[in-house]
């Protein structure tokens, strides 16, 4: 479950860390996919630490929806497959 990788979560801001994101060559594509989500304001990735910081508008993107989309992120991280990334933040 994605919750085990969340290090901080307050309305409007969530940080994820996972060792599979360290030096991951697809992390920039992850950032681009996340930015395409309505309500996402800013996505900061750090491949050296395996961290992703999502800043979003909680009036547009509900916490529950973000967590549901995060489960797809977990599938990408665990599987490491770029094909999963294409549907990462799609409904």
Q: What is the pLDDT of residues 28-71, one digit of tens each?
A: 888 888 888 899 999 999 989 988 899 999 999 998 888 887 77
On whether residue 90 sits in a domain, the answer given is no
The token pair at 6 is 């969340």
Residue 72 CB coordination number (10 Å): 18
> How far apart are alpha carbons 33 and 91 in whole angstroms?
12
On whether residue 22 sits in a domain, the answer given is yes
On whether residue 62 sits in a domain, the answer given is yes
On whether residue 91 sits in a domain, the answer given is no
On whether residue 77 sits in a domain, the answer given is yes
What pLDDT, on the 0 to 100 scale, is given for residue 85? Answer: 41
What pLDDT, on the 0 to 100 scale, is given for residue 14? Answer: 92
Residue 64 maps to which CATH number? 3.30.70.100
The whole-model pTM stands at 0.77
On whether residue 10 sits in a domain, the answer given is yes
Rounded (10°) CA dihedral 91, 38, 34, 43: -160
Task: Show the domain range for 59.
Answer: 2-85
How many domains does the chain contain in total? 1
Residue 84 has pLDDT above 60, yes or no: no
Residue 87 has pLDDT above 50, yes or no: no
How far are the Cα atoms of 11, 14, 26, 35, 83 from residue 55, in angstroms, in the given order?
Answer: 9, 7, 20, 10, 25
What pLDDT, on the 0 to 100 scale, is given for residue 70? Answer: 72
């Amino acid at each position: 479950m994605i919750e085990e990788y969340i290090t901080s979560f307050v309305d409007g801001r969530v940080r994820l860390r996972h060792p599979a994101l360290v030096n991951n060559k697809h992390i920039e594509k992850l950032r681009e996919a996340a930015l395409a989500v309505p309500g996402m304001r800013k996505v900061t990735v750090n491949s050296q630490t395996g961290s992703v910081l999502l800043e979003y508008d909680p009036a547009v993107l509900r916490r529950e929806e973000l967590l549901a989309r995060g489960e797809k992120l977990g599938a990408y991280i665990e599987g490491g497959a770029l094909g999963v990334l294409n549907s990462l933040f799609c409904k």
